Amino acid sequence: MAIIHGGQLSKVAKQFGIPEQEWLDLSTGIAPFSYAIPTIPEKIWQDLPTISPNLITAAQQYYQAEFCWPVAGSQQLIEKLPSLWNDKNSAIKAGEAKHAYLPKVGYKEHQRAWSLAGYQLHFYQEFLPNNIEKNSVVIVINPNNPLTDTFSIQQLTQLKKHCQQQQALLIIDEAFADIFTPEFSFVPHITNDNGYDDLIVLRSFGKFFGLAGIRIGFACTTEIWRDIIKESIGPWSINGPALFIAEQALQDTQWQVAQNERLNQQSEAMQLLLKSYLLNARIEANALFITVFLDNAPDIYEKLCRQALYVRLTDEGNALRFGLTDMLNMQRLDETLATIT
């Protein structure tokens, strides 16, 4: 199935006949404030990439993980997980039916990966599934993208127990979790209870640090899955500069605190602006994106595009997702909204 993502500015610019350089792109949930790229030693460019113990230690401390491993963006692992689970699960090898439980609204690459692997898809939304098949897969997106909904540690702990009883794989996608307090994440609750080790939490690096282009993320998981993932991605999947930058950024707690403050302030300012123009809209937000639910979302989307302002029209066609922008572009957003409402 074809999936539409934010960040496809070239395609949209061509569609509306407006040069790319004239657009304000708010179509992604990537922070508009980026971690400053440190000076990268020449040796990093010359040598084959090496995942250093220092990077693993920095990631373990940042994510509060006992076991974790870097991947070339969480997307790399989303694509690989069906085959890795099939190889690990003896029941599936024996030809049993394959089932995956996913949020109906959420990052569609999860649906794509398990559908292509021949899994029967079951959908939920407001309430986590409580009746799952043996040896199945349950995917949770926390917080949800684009809905911003979240599930509590207590809810996820109950789901984990249910998955353990059913020998199911539990995948929690925490791509936008950096904007919450550390207590929000399920990573510290990954434990090998009574031999249950089929739990993986996906963490994105590029969104919070504003460096999506370097393509790095982390899988926080159990020891056995750490080893499976490490073996599956091979020795040089992530480029050396990305590994170097991530190691510095994950240790820079002063910058992380300042980034959280910046993002929250900017999100609040943008929410006030959007509410002042889109009077009948329902607005849900976090510190990386704002989702505006509108009866005429496709019409507003087209009007914005004709003013060279690109946002994400959700797959369901009932909402627009606005990524954050900096204060410099807030005036342009203000002026554009004034012309279309």
Secondary structure of the chain in HEC code, one letter for each residue: CCCCCCCCHHHHHHHHCCCHHHCEECCCCCCCCCCCCCCCCHHHHHCCCCCCHHHHHHHHHHHCCCEEEEECCHHHHHHHHHHHHHHHCHHHHCCCCCEEEEECCCCCHHHHHHHHCCCEEEEECCCCCCCCCCCCEEEEECCCCCCCCCCCHHHHHHHHHHHHHCCCEEEEECCCHHHCCHHHCCHHHCCCHHHCCCEEEEEECHHHHCCHHHCCEEEEECHHHHHHHHHHHCCCCCCHHHHHHHHHHHHCHHHHHHHHHHHHHHHHHHHHHHHHHCCCCEEEECCCEEEEECCCHHHHHHHHHHCCEECEECCCCCEEEEECCCHHHHHHHHHHHHHHC
Confidence of residue 2 (pLDDT cuts 50, 70, 90): low
What would the pLDDT profile of 254-270 be if each residue is shown by its tens digit? 999 999 999 999 999 99
Percentage with pLDDT > 70 across the chain: 98
pTM: 0.96
What would the pLDDT profile of 125-184 be if each residue is shown by its tens digit? 999 999 999 999 999 999 999 999 999 999 999 999 999 999 999 999 999 999 999 999
Confidence of residue 194 (pLDDT cuts 50, 70, 90): confident
Which residue ranges does the chain devote to CATH 3.40.640.10?
42-251
- Predicted local distance difference test score (pLDDT) of residue 193: 82
Is the CB of residue 245 less than 8 Å from the CB of residue 211? Answer: yes
Tell me the C-alpha distance between 145 and 204, whole Å.
Answer: 13
Task: Name residues whose C-beta falls within 8 Å of residue 142's C-beta, 6 or more positions apart in sequence.
Answer: 150, 151, 156, 172, 173, 174, 177, 186
Helix axes 9-16, 297-306, angle to 10 degrees: 80
- Predicted local distance difference test score (pLDDT) of residue 192: 85
- pLDDT of 10 > 70? The answer is yes
- pLDDT of 336 > 60? The answer is yes
- Predicted local distance difference test score (pLDDT) of residue 90: 77
What would the pLDDT profile of 101-129 be if each residue is shown by its tens digit? 999 999 999 999 999 999 999 999 999 99
Mean pLDDT of the chain: 95
Return the half-sphere exposure (C-beta side, CA atoms, 13 A cut-off) of residue 95: 0
Q: Would you call the peptide bond into 82 cis, given omega within 30 degrees of 0 as the criterion?
A: no
Tell me the C-alpha distance between 317 and 201, whole Å.
Answer: 29
Which residue ranges does the chain devote to CATH 3.90.1150.10?
9-34+254-340
- pLDDT of 94 > 70? The answer is no
CATH class for domain 42-251? alpha beta
Q: Distance of CA 300 to CAs 9, 275, 340, Å?
A: 17, 14, 8
Q: Would you call the peptide bond into 146 cis, given omega within 30 degrees of 0 as the criterion?
A: yes
- Superfamily for the 9-34+254-340 domain: Aspartate Aminotransferase, domain 1 (3.90.1150.10)
Task: Name residues whose C-beta falls within 8 Å of residue 82's C-beta, 6 or more positions apart in sequence.
Answer: 113, 114, 116, 117, 119
Please tell me which residue, 338 or 195, carries the higher pLDDT value: 338
Percentage with pLDDT > 90 across the chain: 92
- Predicted local distance difference test score (pLDDT) of residue 3: 65
Of 31, 8, 25, nearest in space to 333 by CA: 25
